[in-house]
Amino acid sequence: MTESATIYYADDTDRSAIENRTVAVIGFGSQGHAHAMNLDDNGIDVVVGLREDSSSRQAAEQAGLRVATPSAAAAQASVISMLVPDTVQPAVYEAIEPELEAGDTLQFAHGFNIHYGQIDPAEDVNVTMVAPKSPGHLVRRNFENDQGTPGLLAVYQDPTGKATDIGLAYADAIGCARAGVVETTFKEETETDLFGEQAVLCGGVTSLVKHSYETLVEAGYSREMAYFECMNELKLIVDLLYEGGLAEMWNSVSDTAEYGGLTRGDRIVDEDVRENMEATLEAVQNGEFAREWIVENQTGRPSYTQRREAELDHDIEDVGAELRELFAWSAETDEDDEKAKRNGVPADD
């Protein structure tokens, strides 16, 4: 049995660890805008690092934040938070590296580039991770509602002996310590995150949905019924799992659904699937997936583009779009999208 992780809360943090520091938030996308605005609301001196031609500059300036190029922002700061996408981080790091001084803190929200050696910071720089376990717009929304978003904390290098204190203070200032901050490592966060995305959250779920949809349609059932049973109702089950775990879900569905799930689930996700999961995890652990993804980006993303187009061309996308337009909750979704646009929430930059 592995030991339980340490969880920190607001009472375990000391905001003074960053209150007299300037924090450079590099990027103003999903996570970047939330971190920068939450830090600023808590009185932390923030400068946002963006390219001169960045489409996010206007949104950051309208939010009342100082904006500079990434290298200029890093030069002003002693805590530099790298919140641009993984694929561009190495190039951005190369630009800001000359501005890093001994004792500075280089921070990430995902461990990919450190764990797989795409970024190799100097030994005299703290290297930490503060990773909210939620999309940025929810990090911001929860903060504004005086609620918290659970987060992760990891320390990769600590030459100053203060890396944990700085990371916890940062996590507190963006709202994570209100909910709880789980201590982890760059290795553990990276490998579990990639595996979870591939095996369940993004890969496994979408494949299961498509295969079940195709099974019903090919058996002669209507596309609409197949969509509702295999795609639409998934949210209802996930919400129950999120709120109360497996027990809450089983207690909430009918006895028929529970019996069918308990007796048939392992026939679908069987030992062959478990073996495939183990192979997927091994490819994450040994760096095979990372090398593949790095080469994919270096060669213009040919496989990524082809697979993404095929996914968007699937029949379930067509029937889903048609059905969502017919129901009242589609208007609520459109309204939420418009609110996000008016609030200046951009994509990752």
State the catalytic residues: 110
Q: What H or E segment, with its residue span, contains residue 126?
A: strand 126-132
Which two three-digit tokens encode residue 258?
């529970």
Burial label for 72, CB within 10 Å (0-12, 13-18, 19+), is: middle
* Residues ≥6 apart with Cβ < 8 Å to 199: 277, 280, 281
Give the SS3 label for residue 187: helix
Structure tokens at 309: 């187009």
* In the block, residue with structure tokens 């504004």: 144
66 beta partners: 47
Contact (Cβ atoms closer than 8 angstroms) between residue 147 and residue 105: no
Q: Do the Cβ atoms of 176 and 149 come closer than 8 Å? A: yes
Closest Cα to residue 237, out of 218, 258, 217? 258
Q: How many CB atoms lie within 10 A of CB 37?
A: 26
Half-sphere exposure of 6 (CA within 13 A, CB side): 9
CA 74 vs. chain centroid, Å, equals: 23
Pairing state between β 7-8 and 181-184: antiparallel
Structure tokens at 327: 């129901």
Note whether 184 and 154 are within 8 A (CB): yes
- Residue 129, Cβ neighbours under 10 Å: how many? 26
